[in-house]
Amino acid sequence: MPSRRILLLNGPNLNLLGSREPAIYGSATLADHVANVEAACAGLGWAVQHLQSNSEAELVGAIHAARGSADGIIINPGAFTHYSWAIHDALAAFDGPVIEVHLSQPLSRESWRHTSVVAPVAIGTIAGFGGVGYALAVEALSRHFAAAKTL
């Protein structure tokens, strides 16, 4: 039985990774990123549930369902980062840690990408490291849970 359950969420258009603007998002597919997260979590004895959706409502529903069943959330909200107060509110109601991930660095792109409504409800944001960002998020959660045990 896994010691932790992690919900991995990916927002709109991330299903197109590998073919969508590879100069910005890299050549790895979403399946590649999910497999890397699963491998990192398996090494810790954790289970991963993954959902990619282009629907804000479906992502909100998954966050609600994670209450009481997931220990932490790693989320790449895609474009919802910049305006989805519904995702913000759902994450705020989640009891565990949330880490926001972005493959690219939003602050070095168009000005409308500079605001994240998700960041205020996350314990941290990892951006600009490509697919490594997902592995860094798993590492950050691991350290967060380890620190919580020592308190």
- Is residue 118 a contact partner of residue 100, using CB atoms and an 8 Å limit? yes
Distances (CA, A) of 48 to 35, 69, 116: 10, 11, 25
Active site residue 25: yes
- Is residue 88 a contact partner of residue 116, using CB atoms and an 8 Å limit? no
Instruction: Give the active site residue among 33, 50, 88, 102.
Output: 102
Instruction: Give the active site residue among 25, 33, 50, 134.
Output: 25
Active site residue 64: no
Dihedral sign, CA of 75, 145, 105, 120? positive
CA-closest candidate to residue 118, choices 47, 60, 33: 60
SS3 label, residue 10: strand
- Give the residue numbers annotated as catalytic, written as ranges: 25, 102
